[in-house]
Structure 1
Amino acid sequence: MFTFLEKAVVGMALLRLLSGGIEIFAAFLMIRFNAVEKAIIINSSLALIGPLILLLTTAIGIYGIADNISFGKFVWIFVGVGCILYGIRGT
């Protein structure tokens, strides 16, 4: 009858919906301005938002499973996120 949703899952989904909305809004702005220079600026702004959403979503997920996971696995999760951020950073 009623489906119980985990608070962490709802928080993660809402952040992703927010991120998707920002992406769609940015696409509309690019079309509206119709200039490559402005589109590059908008796209660069999205490059700042993406990693922030990744970190927040991962933090919420880790908080949601904190009582079910060992310390060693926490370390591996943070190493993995660190590798992702290192891989996507601009040079």
Structure 2
Amino acid sequence: MAFMRLISGSLELLAAVLMVRHRSLERALLINGLLGFVGPIILILVNALGIAGLATRLSPHKLALLIAGVVCILLGTRS
């Protein structure tokens, strides 16, 4: 999970550098759009890894509550 977050943070920093380097609003919007696509994918992958790691240690009831919470986050962030 930490490695996925490290990759995500590195992509954010790289995007910021590219935005500053290009000095173009159009390019900045394009880069920001790409980040908007990558962000939810990273969120889903990190949550899936966390749930998979906890699946053997949690009771079925708590696991169902955890999955329901992740689904609520994903539904709440849809536009």
- Shared topology, TM-score over 0.5? yes
**Correspondence 1:3-22 to 2 at 5 A:** 12-22=1-11
- Structure 1 counterpart of 2:23, one-letter code: N
Aligned residue in 2 for 1:41: 30
Moved more, 79-88 or 19-28: 79-88
Task: Choose which of 54, 73, 79 in structure 2 pairs with 1:84.
Answer: 73
Confirm or deny that 1:28 pairs with 2:8.
no
Q: 1:38 and 1:88 mapped to 2: Cα distance? A: 25
Aligned partners of 2:51 and 2:67 also within 8 Å = no
Q: 1:66 and 1:83 mapped to 2: Cα distance? A: 19
Q: 2:32 and 2:73 mapped to 1: Cα distance? A: 19
Secondary structure at 1:89 match in 2? coil
Task: Choose which of 39, 45, 51 in structure 2 pairs with 1:62.
Answer: 51
CA RMSD after TM alignment: 1.2
Aligned partners of 2:4 and 2:42 also within 8 Å = yes
Q: What percent of counterpart residues are identical?
A: 46
- Provide Cα deviations, 1:18-68, integer angstroms capped at 9, x if missing partner: 000000000011111111121111111111111111111111111111111
